[in-house]
Amino acid sequence: MKENRIRILYIDDEVHNLNAFRASFRRSYEIYTASSAQEGKLLLKSIDVHIIIADQKMPVSTGVDFFNEIKDQLPDPIRILLTGYTDVEDIIEAINKGHIFSYVKKPWDEYELHNTISNAFEMYQARKQLKEKITELEKINDELNRFIYSTSHDLRSPLMSVLGIINLARLDNSVKDPNGYVDMIESCILKLDGFIQKIIEYYRNSRLEVEYEKIDFDSLLQECIAAFKPQNTAIEFQLNIDQPVDFKGDTFRISVILNNLISNAVKYQKLDEVNPKVNLTVKVEPHKATIWIEDNGIGILSEHLNNIFKMFFRSKNNNKPGSGIGLYIVKEALNKIGGTINVESKYGEGTQFEITIPNRNDFDS
């Protein structure tokens, strides 16, 4: 007998039905029969079947009762109810209580029953594949978690050692480096680390649950400015905050968004600009916050504006290529918290981003 045959258990208290079923279907399927629900349960302990067909009207336990009893222990086999009556109540009850795939009228039409069995088996296989896929995905998810954790540690830790060595070398003046190679090493390491941090940020954004807490935009933006100021001390930051009401939002994602946008505003300044500026304006309303980030930097080519939020897109015309992931993360983070972003830019004159973020303060009360 072939291993991959469809295995069917048929339960019916009328023995001649069992025999007839066997006679008609034994060539196509591997058939097991039982003359009562009790006997059927016993059989199921030793044999894994794909499909169970049960007659509704049996003494002691009806087909529906039987299906209802076994559905928790044996959720996998597909259930078909066989009934002499087309009693709607029975059928509704069967479908609701016993998780039944289909019902077939008695006496059965051989062709129809073949069809039903074949559909049921397809369903069985589809469910099985789905289960396997879920297990597989869970495993991959878990591995991804561990991978990111080790990236954040194992990949960064030697880089941090190198930076430590560079710091030490400067401190004790033990390395003669008239050509500034150590500085070059440092800038490469910082770039690599920046990229690793972006990847971790992206991952965190896509996986971390959204959490709402009170946000004070003034202190949040002051922190951002303090962090970026050293990168270009010539830049004049202007902060305009109008926050008359409380704002609740996801702190992690909002700071990711602001950090990336401010970082760009600081990074893409014109080299010959006498008064480099970054203006940050926040307006908080009961249902949303709007934030404008404006710079007088190099601007973005109009033909590139449509692409800047794509992963790994880098604008051609700049001498400071980025990782091509920052604005993508901004967009993804905004998607997570239901925000929007708009950009206006004139090449050579500057860029303005406008973002809106829903205020979750409203939703709470």
Partner 1 sequence: MISIPDLRIILIDDNEIDLVLHEKLITLQQISRTVLSFSSASKALEYLTSNINLHRIPPTVILLDIQMPEMDGFEFLQAFARFPPKMQSQCHIVMVSSSLDYGDINRTDANPLVVKLLKKPLLAKDLKETVGEIFRDF
Residues lying near partner 1 in the complex (CB under 8 A): 149, 152-153, 156-157, 159-161, 163-165, 167-168, 171-172, 197, 200, 204, 208
The distance of closest approach from Cβ of residue 220 to partner 1 in the complex, given in angstroms and rounded to an integer, is 18
C-beta closer to partner 1: residue 42 or 208? 208
The distance of closest approach from Cβ of residue 76 to partner 1 in the complex, given in angstroms and rounded to an integer, is 37
The distance of closest approach from Cβ of residue 202 to partner 1 in the complex, given in angstroms and rounded to an integer, is 13
The distance of closest approach from Cβ of residue 166 to partner 1 in the complex, given in angstroms and rounded to an integer, is 8
Count of residues in the chain: 365
- Judge whether 262 and 231 are in contact, CB under 8 Å: no
C-beta closer to partner 1: residue 97 or 146? 146
C-beta closer to partner 1: residue 48 or 183? 183
The distance of closest approach from Cβ of residue 355 to partner 1 in the complex, given in angstroms and rounded to an integer, is 24
Nearest to 261 by CA among 349, 342, 158: 342
- Whole-angstrom CA distances from 224 to 257, 261, 276, 319, 339 are 11, 10, 17, 24, 20
| Three-class secondary structure of residue 295 per DSSP | strand
C-beta closer to partner 1: residue 204 or 314? 204
- Judge whether 78 and 122 are in contact, CB under 8 Å: no
Q: How far is 257 from 221, CA to CA, in rounded Å?
A: 11
C-beta closer to partner 1: residue 72 or 209? 209
Nearest-5° Cα angle at 139, 133 to 142: 140
C-beta closer to partner 1: residue 157 or 233? 157
Q: 347: which 2 tokens?
A: 């090449």
Nearest-5° Cα angle at 114, 110 to 120: 145
Pairing of strands 288-295, 277-284: antiparallel
- Judge whether 27 and 51 are in contact, CB under 8 Å: no
Residue 7 exposure: Cα atoms within 13 Å on the Cβ side:
14
The distance of closest approach from Cβ of residue 162 to partner 1 in the complex, given in angstroms and rounded to an integer, is 8
DSSP state, residue 28 = T
The distance of closest approach from Cβ of residue 201 to partner 1 in the complex, given in angstroms and rounded to an integer, is 9
The distance of closest approach from Cβ of residue 354 to partner 1 in the complex, given in angstroms and rounded to an integer, is 29
CA dihedral 78, 104, 20, 10 (to 10 degrees): 30
**Measured over all CA atoms, what is the biggest interatomic distance in the chain, rounded to whole angstroms?**
101
C-beta closer to partner 1: residue 20 or 199? 199
C-beta closer to partner 1: residue 134 or 168? 168
